Amino acid sequence: MQKILLLEDDRNLNQGISLKLKKEGYEVYSAFSVGEAEALFDAVRPDLIISDVNLPDKSGLDFCADIRKRSNVYLFFLTALDSEIDMVNAYDLGADDYVTKPFSLMVLVSKVHAVMRRAEQAPKNSLFSGELKVSYAEMKAYCGEEQLSLSKKELQLLIYMMENARQILSKEQILEHVWDVDGQFVDENTVPVNISRLKAKIGDGYIQNVRGMGYIWIQESFGE
């Protein structure tokens, strides 16, 4: 489910937008100040941010500028500021759209649908989970700033499990996707041995054995 961070200090408006977007199938996290939004962004890693400009603790424009330094997440502004210079400033800071109040909720939903379709189709440069990062361009994995020494199969296994986070993966599924075989001519210890080696290199807290069923990546993963 695609995630939206909604930053709007008008509680009635926040609730109205949130309810509508949830009915449309999105997972919505509401914030009423920039401080709350910053904490939620780091915890949730949303696909889209919808932000007011005039907020009680900080400007939404400043929030956008800070986010753009570390993320390419899609970002909309909702604001009563409708002058040309306000819009230009927002776009210069990296906003993807600018919706002036009052606005049609259906128009906003239509814009959200459009940008979420783009988000699904856009290629991801990196994959993140906890302290781990996989760079698709480099085909390398990192824990913090340190590059992990992984074999080709260990890296493929890591990517497959991160891309299917919080789903139980059977030994047969792993063999099919990582080794490209159905398991008939592969040693039965291939998967558990490689899982064990991978766990030793990435640390505890990522992969769990589900008895009789397979393995699960227990951390949330996201791509950017």
Q: What is the CATH number of the domain that holds 178?
A: 1.10.10.10
Cβ–Cβ < 8 Å for 44, 29: yes
CA 182 distance to own-chain centroid? 32
Angstrom distances, CA of residue 22 to CA of 4, 116, 160, 168: 10, 14, 29, 26
Domain span holding position 64:
3-121
Domain boundary among 68, 102, 121: 121
Whether the full predicted model's pTM is greater than 0.75, yes or no, is no
Regarding whether 117 and 154 lie in a shared domain, the answer is no
Indicate if the pLDDT at residue 184 is higher than 60.
no
Q: Are residues 140 and 208 in the same domain?
A: yes
pLDDT of 6 > 90? The answer is yes
Number of compact structural domains in the chain: 2
Q: Are residues 51 and 116 in the same domain?
A: yes
Examine the domain organization and report whether 113 and 130 are in the same domain.
no
How many CA atoms within 13 Å lie on the side-chain side of 147? 7
CATH number for the domain including 88?
3.40.50.2300
Stronger pLDDT, 81 or 114, i.e. the higher one: 114
Rounded-to-integer distance, Cα 137 and Cα 124, Å:
9
Last residue of a domain, one of 121, 139, 172: 121
With a cut of 70, say whether residue 183 has pLDDT above it.
no
Residue 179 — very low, low, confident or very high, per pLDDT cuts 50/70/90? Answer: confident
Name the domain boundary from 121, 139, 174: 121
